[in-house]
Amino acid sequence: MLAGAAAGIWLVWAAADYAQVRTSLPVLLSEVAPPAIDRGLRDADPPRAPRADGSSPLRELDEPFLRGSLIVKFRPGTQTDTRRALLAQVDSTGGAPVSYAPFEVVAIDPAADPEEAARRLDVQPDVEYAQARYRVYPRFVPNDPLYSRQWNYPALDMERAWDINQGATPAITVAVLDSGVAYRAAFVRYTAQAFRLSPGGPIFRPLGPVDIPFAPAPELGGPERFVSPRDFIWGTAMPLDLDGHGTHVSGTIGQLTNNGIGVAGMAFNVRIMPVKVIAGDWDLIFGSPSVGTDDVVARGIRYAVDNGANVLNLSIGRLGPPAPALRDAMTYAVSRGAFVAVAAGNDAETGNRVERLAEFAPEIEGVVAVGGIGRDRQRAFYSNTGSYVEVVAPGGDSRVGGTEGAILQQTFDFDLVETYFRGPAQYRAPRFDAFTFEFLQGTSMATPHVAGFAALLIQQGITAPAAIEAAMKRYATDLGRSGRDDEYGHGLINPRATLRGLGLAR
């Protein structure tokens, strides 16, 4: 599907999952951006229409899993001959262990049904689990001068919480497992393939080799702030963001604060570990070797923990059947002392389907599933409900407050990224070296509030993942029905009340 102009690549937006709204806020320019491009935002620019969640060729029109391979974890002590015999039952030629994983990715016939093959292996006594490789996606819906437009921090009483803990410390590392982060300057040569925006629509021509500029987001800090970067999509140590989602999420966690420019972040002194585990549309157009699947995310989780992350932010998710590889990875994370915040999902109006990362939160202490609220403190229209929702945080709701009812943070200037929306005649290579402030909404935007809050608690000496979760729940502001409920979980996180309730106030 990624080869040739005839097959092309499908980019189809699923409007229920991602809303990103254009603003007329000033653009920040990077040092490496050539001056010939006009990056100004005009007052006449209308709010951008809701956009999908990065739906792409492999997200909307294709199957939710990859064909031709499976994830298999054998029980300890299983002999080589037994493994071969079991794999032969699904006509597998075998596989090999992969880095940062207790499982193997084994090859099967591309024409075979991977779900059926996984079921056949999963019931075998020597197999701990077997599953198809399901795709994972971002979970957002289609004295700082701009701080006054960030309603989310006053909703959490963060000004008084910062009086108690001023943004944590660089000794704490938050891993952002996402589409990458705009953390460094680079020029990278890619080969742009042909693709379509819709079934039967015009084919966007292949651009061939293109040199793409990248720059660090100005308000995320210098290179010393970013530790142990890793890209599991391209297989490199340079997790560049070709989407904007991971950069926006990172801003809510750790945007530089009280620096007289732009916007604020929850834990603005922490170090950030960018771990790229999902592919944006440009990754796919450029032919990335991975699209982001369960096994990729599971490896990213183990990588982050093994390299010193104290907190993991997973503003990502997937639907479909349960994901034992992800349960395994999150259990590993908390066993090594890392707290995990995961998005509860944005499917409330499209079936409220179970979010397969978040569903493990109730059974794993130290993993917290986060729903979203709007500025009116009501559940956002998209935010999933269910027994796995544990707390809520500001995720934004454009139905309450319009454009500014979403969450404001720095990310790319999408006029220079989403060039394909101009049509085949105007389509050109993107740029990832110019920035603006964008209002986005979704449980993706709610989750980093919880990750940043966890970093504040760790700084105050609450370090065990289960203790962090217990503190968040105990002092959450109850919303909805009295007590825990399926819309709000235990309620809206309350950093100041938690710090005071634990006797940590100065």
Closest alpha carbon to 385 in 310, 239, 486, 253: 486
Burial class of residue 67 (count of CB atoms within 10 Å of its CB; 0-12, 13-18, 19+)? middle
Say yes or no to pLDDT of 321 above 70: yes
Domains 20-31+50-57+138-501 and 65-134 share a fold: no
Phi/psi-derived region of residue 119, left when phi > 0, alpha when psi is between -120 and 50, beta in every other case: alpha
CA distance 273 to 53: 23
Q: How confident is the model at residue 164 (pLDDT cuts 50, 70, 90)?
A: low
Are residues 193 and 285 in contact, defined by beta-carbon separation less than 8 angstroms?
yes
Residue 370 tokens read as 């986060």
Task: Calculate mean pLDDT across residues 477-485.
Answer: 95
For the ranges 101-105, 158-162, 357-361, which has the lowest average pLDDT?
158-162
Residue type, 472: M
Q: How confident is the model at residue 399 (pLDDT cuts 50, 70, 90)?
A: confident
Say yes or no to pLDDT of 315 above 80: yes
Query: What's 452's DSSP letter?
Result: H
Are residues 24 and 75 in contact, defined by beta-carbon separation less than 8 angstroms?
no
- Secondary-structure breakdown of the chain: helix, strand, coil percentages, each rounded to the nearest 5: 25, 20, 50
Task: Calculate mean pLDDT across residues 478-495.
Answer: 95
CA distance 172 to 193: 40
pLDDT of residue 263: 54
pLDDT of residue 462: 92
What is the chain's alpha carbon radius of gyration, rounded to the nearest angstrom?
22
Closest alpha carbon to 136 in 277, 305, 275: 277
Which helix H or strand E contains 434, and what residues bound it? strand 434-440
Task: Calculate mean pLDDT across residues 94-115.
Answer: 91
Residue 170 tokens read as 């660089």
pLDDT of residue 418: 81
Choose which CATH entry (3.40.50.880, 3.40.50.200, 3.40.50.1010, 1.20.1300.10) describes domain 20-31+50-57+138-501: 3.40.50.200
CA distance 296 to 278: 8
Choose which CATH entry (3.50.50.60, 3.30.70.20, 3.40.50.1820, 3.30.70.80) describes domain 65-134: 3.30.70.80
pLDDT of residue 3: 27
Are residues 319 and 352 in contact, defined by beta-carbon separation less than 8 angstroms?
no
Q: How confident is the model at residue 130 (pLDDT cuts 50, 70, 90)?
A: very high
Closest alpha carbon to 11 in 293, 285, 243, 247: 285
Q: Which residue has the higher pLDDT, 241 or 13?
A: 241
Could you tell me what percent of the chain has a pLDDT over 90?
54
Geometric angle at alpha carbon 464, from 461 and 466, rounded to 5°: 130
Whole-model pTM above 0.75? yes
pLDDT of residue 439: 83
pLDDT of residue 319: 79
Q: How confident is the model at residue 104 (pLDDT cuts 50, 70, 90)?
A: very high
CA distance 458 to 309: 12
Find how far residue 157's CA is from the centre of its chain: 25
Q: How confident is the model at residue 202 (pLDDT cuts 50, 70, 90)?
A: confident
CA distance 93 to 87: 7
Say yes or no to pLDDT of 324 above 80: yes
Which helix H or strand E contains 209, and what residues bound it? strand 208-214
pLDDT of residue 43: 26
CA distance 391 to 472: 8
Q: Where are the domains of the chain?
A: 20-31+50-57+138-501, 65-134
How long a stretch of residues is the chain? 506
Strand partners, 230: 275
Convert the pLDDT of each residue in 433-444 to its tens digit. 998 888 888 999
CA distance 412 to 405: 20
Q: How confident is the model at residue 165 (pLDDT cuts 50, 70, 90)?
A: low
CA distance 321 to 116: 12
Convert the pLDDT of each residue in 20-30 to its tens digit. 333 323 332 22
Say yes or no to pLDDT of 325 above 90: yes
Convert the pLDDT of each residue in 445-470 to its tens digit. 999 999 999 998 998 899 999 999 99
Across the chain, what does the average pLDDT equal? 81
